[in-house]
Every structure is written in C-alpha cells, then in structure tokens.
A = this chain, B = another copy of it.
Amino acid sequence: MKPTIKDIAKKIGVSVATVSRVINNRSGYSPETEKKVLKAINKLGYYPNALARGLVGKKIKTIGVLMPSVSSMVASKILSGIEDAAHNKNYSVIICNTDNSGKRTINYLRVLREKQIDGIIVVSEILTDEYINVIKKMEVQVVLVSTIDKGNNFTYIKVDDIKAAYQTTEYLINKGHKNIAMISGTKNDVVAGIPRVKGYLKALEDYGLSKKKENLVYGDFSFDSGKICMAKLLKQSPKISAVFAASDEMAIGALSAAYRHRINVPEQLSVIGYDNTTLAQMTTPPLTVLSQPFYQMGYEGLSMLISKIKGESVENKILPHIIIERQTVKDINR
C-alpha cells in the first residue's frame, strides 16, 4: 500500500505532526529529526496525498479551463500558454471542451465545483447570463481570455479588436487600396464578430472611403465559409482589390477560392488574415496577417488568475497586436 504520513511517523518514532512539519518546511524540529524524516520518506517512497491536503482547507492547486474547442488552432495556442504558465506555478489544469453546448458547460461547471478547483479560465466563449450566474455562485476566481462579458463583471485579457481591425484596414488603405472588402465572422458574435466589422467600417469612414454594402459578407470563421464568402464577393463585387478576413482560416479559404477562379494573389487581389495561427505561414504565398499574441494571452491570463487566487487585485489587460507582413498584400501605390 501507499505509505502515509503515519507510516513514516511510526517507522522513526515521531508524531505525525512532526512529519507534517518537515514536509511543509514549517519550523519546529531539530536538524536530526529532519534528517531522519527525510530518509524515511525516501526509503518508503512516500508522497503526500493532495486530496487530503485539499480537504483540510489548503488549495488543491488546480484550475479549470473552459473553451469551445480544444482542437482549434487558436484555442490550442492559448491553451499552450495557459499550460506553460500553470506548470511554472505548480498548478494543474483540467480542460473542458464545451463544444458551444450550454448543457455541457453547466455540467462542467458543476464538476469543477465539486472538485474544488481554485479558479477557472474561460477562453473565447460567448458568456450567456446563465453561465455568468452559475459562475458567480461558485465563488471561484475567474479570468476571461480572448473574450469579455457584458457587465464586465470578470477580469479579462484580450486584444482590442476594434482597434486591431481598424489598423488592419488602415494597413490596406496605406498600401493604396480603396475598394476593400471584408469577410466577417459570425454576424452577431459580440466578441470576434461585431467589433471587427466596426473597426473596418470606422477606418473606411475616417479615410473617406465609401462603405459599400456588397463589400461586407459574413462567414463563421471557418475555412469553408471563407471559400464561400470569397466566391460571393467575387461575384457581387468584382472590383475589389483587397479583402480583409476576420480569421486566418477564412483568409485561407479566400485564397483557395481565388485560386480556383484563377485570380492571382497578391497580383490581382490582396488578402489579409486575422489571428496568425500556424497556418498563416504555410500557405502559398504566405499569408499577411494581423497577429494576436495567443500564447501570451494564455500565459498572462493564467498568471492573472493565480494573482486573484492569492487575493491580489488584478486589472483587466489589453494586449498589443501587430501586423505581420508576408506575401499576400500588394502595395499598389507604386
């Protein structure tokens, strides 16, 4: 059987309290007893039982991460950052793939609660009132990564999407483009949909470019929707010289559709993506993108959560974004 603190106490004739002290580096024992205890621990192959520790009131050092899909490129990058940070701080992370299912989310929340986790990170989820209520009742610390809730009840870390989309559009404008289309993500998505369209529209306006209705189409962030949207665009608005896609996948879909229609990128049409997932550098030609710092978002998000767990007060954080120039945007000024 697994040796317990009792076993090692008995073996060397001290009390369990003493053993506990040395295990936890508390003060109150002589160097000799320490040596004896350590030796016995080693010999018996003892290791503490985290459940028992957790029961007594100490933290279990585990957090839960809720995300719509663990296998999406974006989510897995963020997860990777979370995981790295957690490892550095000696926390474990339980993943919860909500699959955008309300029932599943609520169920996960219940399980996490039962397992006494110390905090939760919500990644890229659209937070419904139902979730918010359940989470509030849980009395755990929460950090939102790459998302936000209406009431700003929860601490978040993300990129400023309006600004990022604005600058992406501005970048195209600076390259001489005047007839710029946008392939937006899901129409009513308050996090990654609406704000990006807003930024796009604002830039057009500020630069005195006309906002044509036929230049704005809506996909759902996926590759296939990018393909479809591009085809649509080519048909209803053939004069565009550049298209801004609200995700890398849609941008790649656009590339694919352009190829099929024998339109050369970037010679005849410029394309810019959004996210900078691993995919972006693998396309031919490599995709110019607005890059979001996903890994960092995860890493810092976890750090913020730990701070909150420790009782420190934590501010919301907006991370900087940059444009990574590759080969899908043509400067038509020259």
- A contact residues vs B (CB 8 Å cutoff): 2, 45, 47-52, 54-55, 60, 62, 69-71, 73, 76-77, 79-80, 83-84, 87, 90, 92-97, 104, 107-108, 110-116, 137, 139, 223, 249, 252-253, 255-256, 259, 278-279, 281-284
Contact = CB atoms under 8 A, between A and B. Distances in A.
Contacts of A108: 87
A110 B255 CA distance: 47
- Work out how many copies of this chain go into the complex: 2
B70 A80 contact: yes
A114 B91 CA distance: 12
Contact of A76 (B70, B116, B256, B259): B70
A279 B116 CA distance: 38
B95 A51 contact: no
B92 A92 contact: no
A221 to B, nearest CB: 13
A interface: dominant SS: helix
Contacts of A252: 282
A253 B279 CA distance: 11
Given A45-B137, A55-B51, A69-B80, A282 B249 contact: yes
Given A51-B55, A249-B282, A282-B279, A97 B80 contact: yes
Contacts of A256: 282, 284
Given A93-B95, A283-B283, 8 more contacts: A83-B95, A83-B96, A87-B96, A87-B97, A92-B94, A93-B94, A249-B282, A256-B282
